[in-house]
Amino acid sequence: MLRNRLLFLQNDNDKNKNHARTAISRKPQAAHNIFLSSKPKVKLAAILPALFVIFTGAFTADSAFSASAANSESTLISADSKENVEAHFTVIAHRGASGYLPEHTLEAATLAFSLRPDFIEQDVVITKDDIPVVLHDIHLETVTDVENIFPTRHRDDGRFYVRDFTLEELRQLRVHERTGSNGSQVFENRYRGNHANFNVATLAEHFELISELNRQFGTSVGVYPEVKSPAFHIDEGVDASKMVVDALNTYGFGGENGNSYLQCFDFNEIKRIRETLGYKGKVVMLIGENDWGESDTDYNWLRTQEGMKQVANYADGIGPWLGHLLDNDAMVQGKIKAASWVKYAHENKLTIHPYTYRHDALPAGMSSEQVLDVLNKVVDADGVFTDHLVPVLTWRDKQNQRK
Report the distance separating Cα 25 and Cα 34, nearest Å.
23
Residues identified as active-site: 94, 136
Give the helix ranges, DSSP H, for 27-85.
Answer: 44-56, 67-71
Query: Would you give the DSSP letter of residue 362?
Result: P
Report the distance separating Cα 234 and Cα 268, nearest Å.
13
268 in Cβ contact with 311 (< 8 Å): no
Cis peptide before 356 (omega within 30 of 0): yes
Query: Would you give the DSSP letter of residue 397?
Result: H
CA distances, 49 to each of 46, 237, 332 (Å): 7, 47, 9
Report the distance separating Cα 187 and Cα 339, nearest Å.
29
DSSP letter for each residue of 201-262? -BHHHHHHHHHHHHHHHT---EEEEEE--HHHHHHTT--HHHHHHHHHHHTT--STT-SB-E
49 in Cβ contact with 328 (< 8 Å): no
Q: Which of 402, 387, 353 is closest to 115 using CA atoms?
A: 387
Q: Which of 41, 50, 44, 49 is closest to 75 using CA atoms?
A: 44
Residue 357's CB is within 10 A of a number of other CB atoms, namely 31
Q: Which of 257, 187, 266 is closest to 220 using CA atoms?
A: 257
Report the distance separating Cα 161 and Cα 125, nearest Å.
10
Report the distance separating Cα 263 and Cα 365, nearest Å.
33
